[in-house]
Amino acid sequence: MRTAAFPEAVMVSGIVVAALLAGLAVLSGDPRGRAWGMLGALVLTPVLLIAEIWESPQLQSLRDQPVVIAIAAGAGLALLGALISLFTRRPAWLAPAVAATLPFRVPIEAGGSTANLLVPLYLVLAAGALVWLVPRLRGRSGSGGDDPARGKSARALPWLLVGAVVLYAIQSAYSADVSKALEQVVFFYVPFALLFAVLRELDWTPAMAGRCLTVLVALALVFAAIGFVEYWQRELLLNPKVIASNQFESYFRVNSLFFDPNIYGRFLALVMLGLVAVLLWDAAPRRRWAIAIAVAVLWCGLLLTLSQSSFAALLLGLAVLAALRWHLRRTVYAAAAVLVLAAGFVALFPGTTGVELGDRESLDDATSGRYGLVAGGVELAADRPLYGWGAGSFSREYRRQKRASSERAASASHTIPVTVAAEQGVIGLAVYLALLACALAALLRGAGRGPARAAVAAAFCALVLHTWLYASFLEDPLAWALLAVGTALALRDP
């Protein structure tokens, strides 16, 4: 039951307006237009959030403590002001600051559930956006729209990104779970569209990309060290669900400072791909051993997550790097041979793998219940194929139609195309597939010319596969960051 301060129709209208403002920030050919779009989105999204959680127990307890609210607001504004001052004097620090805050999530209750939000990233993004937009509003500086030299795929990519966000917002109008749709738009889609707009404006030299990778590697090594300590002590710091599952299973999964072992594994895999790209293209002899040791440490950290989706994503990313660095056809043949051998092993030794092809219960157990979720998502999509059940509605519709308990149903099907088809129908699926095709064309074309572009292309391919096996595509800021950095680097490529 919704307890928002505004009626549902008003909230839906606000969701659509916020998405349109984010689209203006990304697509406008006039710098002032982009600046007004950014400012409008920065103002409207907190208003929508506060309206949504106005009657929630969390905010109600805070409303009874005005001193606490004043102190928290003052601290937030002071930190925002410090970041604005820093980025004004040192613009080159914005990109490493974004990289440093990408992984850190803070649990926030909204819409009756708890979301793990990237609060530090939001602060950095808000500061970076204000530093960029204020001079443009004053008419002091700014460039025009997209450079025609970007190529067709790179020019179409922002339009498809914005189209996906606006379509999702519009489809919240008939969703059975408007609160979930608002959460997705306010917490993820609109802020990350602004992130894309801000990062795309930076001068992405290989040196800046290298500094960002250095920050990510340092963080990944720290996270891996924390994961080693968790495994050694058999005690997790975060995520009660994983803590409970570890108590009842023969294995032990770590998630370091992340709330999910799979998202932790995704982060490690993408950082490893960046290191391998440097190793293959541009590593000085004195740095090769250091890079190899870092990759080995992160691989050990990835092993402790037991994240099958992250292992698959890493393998695909390595295959992409091999194809870009050496020979595409040979890489495809080798990958096909590996897949055939793996399928043959599963078919011949079902007792060893625990998977019996054709047995739904066996497949469901082997995939931790994901097979059933995917099958249910396909049935939902078939019931309403054209326009789906509405943005953010998967979990509620799955529980209602399949009569599943809240513990059994997940927030998504754990396969992004199925979730999109169930929630947004053929219309949303077409936009999603067009976005993927355009993004891959923009990132892969000419990516073999250097380590930075190769790393971005391989990491994006790995991330896409991970979303097919788990979740979170446009809900992950890494996807938006990779797209922004990849298209910006392509512009610099001769």
Look at the alpha carbons of 311, 317, 321, 322 in this order and tell me if their dihedral is positive or negative.
positive
Neighbour count for residue 144 (Cβ, 10 Å)? 9
For the cut 90, the answer to whether the pLDDT of residue 330 exceeds it is no
- The answer to whether residue 13 sits within a structural domain is yes
Q: Round to the nearest angstrom and report the end-to-end CA distance of the chain.
A: 56
For the cut 90, the answer to whether the pLDDT of residue 447 exceeds it is no
For the cut 60, the answer to whether the pLDDT of residue 479 exceeds it is yes
Distance (Å, whole) CA 100 – CA 371: 35
Give the tokens for residue 391.
């943005």
- The answer to whether residue 459 sits within a structural domain is yes
- The answer to whether residue 409 sits within a structural domain is no
- The answer to whether residue 134 sits within a structural domain is yes
Q: How far is CA 461 from CA 228, 270, 294, 320, 400, in A?
A: 28, 10, 22, 8, 34
For the cut 60, the answer to whether the pLDDT of residue 175 exceeds it is yes
SS3 10: helix
What local confidence, expressed as pLDDT, does residue 368 receive? 56
Work out the pLDDT band at 408, boundaries 50, 70, 90: very low
* 185 and 243 housed in the same domain: no
In 3D space, the residue among 184, 192, 193, 179 whose CA is nearest the CA of residue 11 turns out to be 179
* 179 and 50 housed in the same domain: yes
For the cut 60, the answer to whether the pLDDT of residue 407 exceeds it is no
Question: Which among 152, 174, 200 is the end of a domain?
Answer: 200
Q: Are 360 and 371 in contact (CB under 8 A)?
A: yes
* 24 and 150 housed in the same domain: yes
Q: How far is CA 245 from CA 107, 176, 361, in A?
A: 20, 30, 20
Q: How far is CA 296 from CA 227, 293, 300, in A?
A: 14, 5, 6
Distance (Å, whole) CA 262 – CA 255: 8
DSSP codes of every residue in 132-195: HHHHHHTTS----S--GGG-HHHHHHHHHHHHHHHHHHHGGGG-S-HHHHHHHIIIIIHHHHHH
139-148, 169-178, 338-347, 443-452: which has the minimum mean pLDDT? 139-148
What local confidence, expressed as pLDDT, does residue 337 receive? 75
Work out the pLDDT band at 145, boundaries 50, 70, 90: very low
Count of structural domains within the chain:
2
* Mean pLDDT for the stretch of residues 414-425: 91
Please give the radius of gyration of the chain, using alpha carbons only, rounded to the nearest integer: 22
What local confidence, expressed as pLDDT, does residue 315 receive? 93
Residue holding tokens 């950290």? 301
- The answer to whether residue 159 sits within a structural domain is yes
Which amino acid belongs to residue 195? L
What local confidence, expressed as pLDDT, does residue 150 receive? 47
How many Cα atoms sit within 13 Å of 185 on the Cβ side? 40
Which tens digit of pLDDT belongs to each residue from 60-76?
666 667 777 788 788 88
* 182 and 250 housed in the same domain: no
* 135 and 155 housed in the same domain: yes
For the cut 50, the answer to whether the pLDDT of residue 148 exceeds it is no
What local confidence, expressed as pLDDT, does residue 1 receive? 44
Most confident residue range from 53-62, 201-210, 313-322: 313-322
What local confidence, expressed as pLDDT, does residue 4 receive? 55
* 219 and 320 housed in the same domain: yes
Distance (Å, whole) CA 98 – CA 103: 10
Question: Which among 182, 200, 218 is the end of a domain?
Answer: 200
What local confidence, expressed as pLDDT, does residue 361 receive? 55
What local confidence, expressed as pLDDT, does residue 491 receive? 73
- The answer to whether residue 438 sits within a structural domain is no
- Calculated CA dihedral for residues 124, 126, 130, 136, nearest 10 degrees: 110
Q: Which residue has the higher pLDDT, 492 or 452?
A: 452
Work out the pLDDT band at 463, boundaries 50, 70, 90: very high
* Mean pLDDT for the stretch of residues 33-54: 87
For the cut 90, the answer to whether the pLDDT of residue 138 exceeds it is no
* 110 and 191 housed in the same domain: yes
Question: Which among 172, 200, 228 is the end of a domain?
Answer: 200
For the cut 80, the answer to whether the pLDDT of residue 318 exceeds it is yes
In 3D space, the residue among 377, 392, 488, 412 whose CA is nearest the CA of residue 443 turns out to be 488
DSSP codes of every residue in 30-85: SHHHHHHHHHHHHHHHHHHHHHHTTTSHHHHHHHT-HHHHHHHHHHHHHHHHHHHH
What local confidence, expressed as pLDDT, does residue 357 receive? 53
* 98 and 216 housed in the same domain: no
* Mean pLDDT for the stretch of residues 247-267: 80
The count of residues in the chain is 494
What local confidence, expressed as pLDDT, does residue 76 receive? 84
* 300 and 269 housed in the same domain: yes
- The answer to whether residue 420 sits within a structural domain is no
What local confidence, expressed as pLDDT, does residue 56 receive? 63
Return left, alpha or beta for 139; rule: phi > 0 is left, psi -120 to 50 is alpha, else beta.
Answer: left
In 3D space, the residue among 494, 491, 492, 477 whose CA is nearest the CA of residue 198 turns out to be 477
* 182 and 60 housed in the same domain: yes
For the cut 90, the answer to whether the pLDDT of residue 86 exceeds it is yes
85-99, 223-237, 311-325, 402-416: which has the minimum mean pLDDT? 402-416
Q: Are 124 and 97 in contact (CB under 8 A)?
A: yes
- The answer to whether residue 418 sits within a structural domain is no
Pairing of strands 113-117, 106-110: antiparallel
DSSP 109: E
Domain ranges, residue 472:
206-356+445-492
Average pLDDT of the chain to the nearest whole number = 83
* 173 and 224 housed in the same domain: no
* Mean pLDDT for the stretch of residues 70-87: 88
* Mean pLDDT for the stretch of residues 332-360: 61
* 192 and 210 housed in the same domain: no
